[in-house]
Every structure is written in structure tokens, then in C-alpha cells.
Structure 1
């Protein structure tokens, strides 16, 4: 579950101010929507953390074998071109795009949209905010994204230039041309 703080009556956070706020409060996981809302991300429980770690491992093993990019955990905040500052549960950036960033950009909140993301709906997450987050990635250049919704037993697949596809679980997802040769079985 997430908590959204409306700061409009007081201020609008710039990207730099958001970064400073996160640095000053490292124990509070924060995001900023493309409309400037400050979002406090609630920590997940053991089962959700286990699922997230398993996904990171699977994408990481594929990436270790292919050496095509860089894998990131949910602790990484990306400053999206569309204006938001978001943390996907799993993210992957193609290697040449990552190497195109300066060292300073890599050490801060990378100003880049991942090529691939996975968002997991936890049992307390509302679906609409996750779909909005996926659309922010999509509008910022996301090439492939999966919103895994175990609660409704479905996966929403986001592809650049296409309508969102909804598939029922169980399903075997393909990394398509973004993560060539990668598959994920979702039960």
C-alpha cells in the first residue's frame, strides 16, 4: 500500500529537492509521480519480498549470461523523462544506454527510463496506482513492462506503441526482443 501526500498547498518539489529529501530520509522509501505527488511506499512483507527477490535473481541470471544490460532492485529510483521519480520492483536498462550516463548520473537517481520493468501487486496494493505508475514508465519510453497481479490472477503487459495486453495466470511470459531468450513462468 502507498500513501500519497499532496504538497500543493505548501510547495511543489523540484527533482533536486526530491533527491535531497530522499537523502535526508534514507529510511523512508519515497517516489514522486509525474504530477508532483509525494508517495510514501509501504514496505512489503516476507512473501512479497521473496517473490521480488526471486524475480530479480531470474532477470539477473539471464543478464549475467547475456551481458546485455544492467539489473536494478526496487531500491533504485529512476528520474523518468516524463517527470516522475519512480522505483520499479525489478528494472533492466540496456548496457549502451546505461553507459551513456555520466558517473554522477549513475550515482544519483539515473535520469533514464528502464527498458524493462516488473511491478508486483502486493496484497495491500490498490491496482489503479500501479497501473498509473506503469503508464508513467510507458510514456517515458519503457519498451516492455509486466504488472503481475496475483490477487486477480492476471498479468498486464505494457509494450511501446501497443495497447496493454491482459493475460490470465498461469502464463509463461516472454522477454520478446527486449530481453531476448528470457522467459518467466508466472503461477
Structure 2
């Protein structure tokens, strides 16, 4: 049985504490992230939001913001995917007013952060799907290797590490972030 977004919304009403995605008619219940992965996502969101909000460039959201992706098969109106990247950015002109619902669009930037239990291949496949559907940039942050891989459609991935500076001139002209700033600090 193939489930729909309506089915997911009903399940979400019954279990508001669950974080879920709808992938090809199947509901995927997401476990909580490990602490470090979530902190990295919060750090990235903060750095992005400071730049984006002060310039009114768009909207930055975290791992609970759901995106209804374009239909996979045009003749199957019920086969919709509802996905939630760990961090997302949508340009202001594409989402002028926020919504009290899932949004039917693909974010301009989507970021996945490898948690302790994640495998890389499914994360790369999710990034590739978003790029094929219209995201400009996808990023995979791997705290285990201390790397950030930047993906663009039909281009070779760019792997960045400590000492590198992340820029996204096609989305956020002038914004820069030292990769080292993503990793949580150690307090003495």
C-alpha cells in the first residue's frame, strides 16, 4: 500500500513527537540526531541566518521543515515525497511569505549532516534527488572525517576540510564560512 501526505499528516497528528519523511509512498520515522550532529546543524543555521536575515535574502530552516517535492511520476498524483533536509535555505523571491504547512518547492540549498548511525550512500542519494529536482547546492557534512562536500548538478563534488573557506556565490554572494567554525568547540 502506497501512503500519501494526508496519511503522514494523520500519523503526525497522532504522534507529534515523531519526525517523519514520506519517501516513495513509505513513511520513514527518523530517529533523533546525535548531539554533535545537531550542534553542527545549529551552528550552520546560525551562521547562515545571520547573513540571510540581515540582508533579507530568504529563509533558513532546520531538520523539521518539510518540503513537498515535485511528483516523481506525472501520472501518479498520490506519489509525492515529503522530505526534510537537516538545514535548508530558500531565496526570498521563491517564498515571499512563510507558510503554516509543508511547502511545495525544492530549497535552493539543502544540507545533510551525517549522524553517528547514518550511512553516507543514502545521504548522497537524497542530495542527488534534491539537485535533480532543482536545488542549486547540496552539502554533506561529515563530522567523522571533518569534511564538507559541496554538490552541484552535473559537476564533480568538492570536498572541503579544515583550513578551507566555504562560499556559495551562486546563492549567497559575499558569504564566507571557515570549515573549522562548523565543529563544536571544546571548553576547558
Tell whether 2:124 aligns with 1:89: no
C-alpha offsets along residues 46-78 of structure 1, whole Å, 9 cap, x if unaligned? 222221111110010011221110111111111
- Aligned with 2:9 (options 19, 31, 35): 19
How much has 1:143 moved relative to structure 2?
A: 0.7
Report matched runs for 1:137-176 at 5 Å: 137-160=130-153, 162-170=154-162, 171-176=164-169
**TM-score, normalised relative to structure 1:** 0.83
Q: TM-score, normalised by structure 2?
A: 0.83
User: What corresponds to 1:71 in structure 2?
Assistant: 60
1:86 Cα deviation from its structure 2 partner? 1.0
**Which ranges of structure 2 fall in alignment gaps of 5 or more residues?**
73-79, 181-188
Deviates more, 1:13-22 or 1:88-97: 13-22
3-state secondary structure, aligned to 1:107? coil
For residues 166 and 180 of structure 1, the distance between their equivalents in structure 2, rounded to whole angstroms, comes to 18
1:29, distance to aligned residue in structure 2 (A): 0.7
Mapping 1:53-72, distance limit 5 Å: 53-72=42-61
The residue aligned with 2:77 is none
RMSD over aligned Cα atoms: 1.8
Alpha-carbon separation, structure 2, partners of 1:42 and 1:79: 20
Cα shift at 1:134:
0.7
Question: Which residue number corresponds to residue 128 of structure 2?
Answer: 135
- Contact 1:74 1:90 (8 Å CA) reproduced: yes
CA contact (8 A) 1:156 1:164 kept: no
Task: Determine the C-alpha separation between the residues in 2 that align with 1:145 and 1:97.
Answer: 18
Checking the alignment, whether the CA contact within 8 Å between 2:60 and 2:89 is kept in structure 1 is yes
Consecutive unaligned residues of structure 1, counting only runs of 5 or more, are 1-10
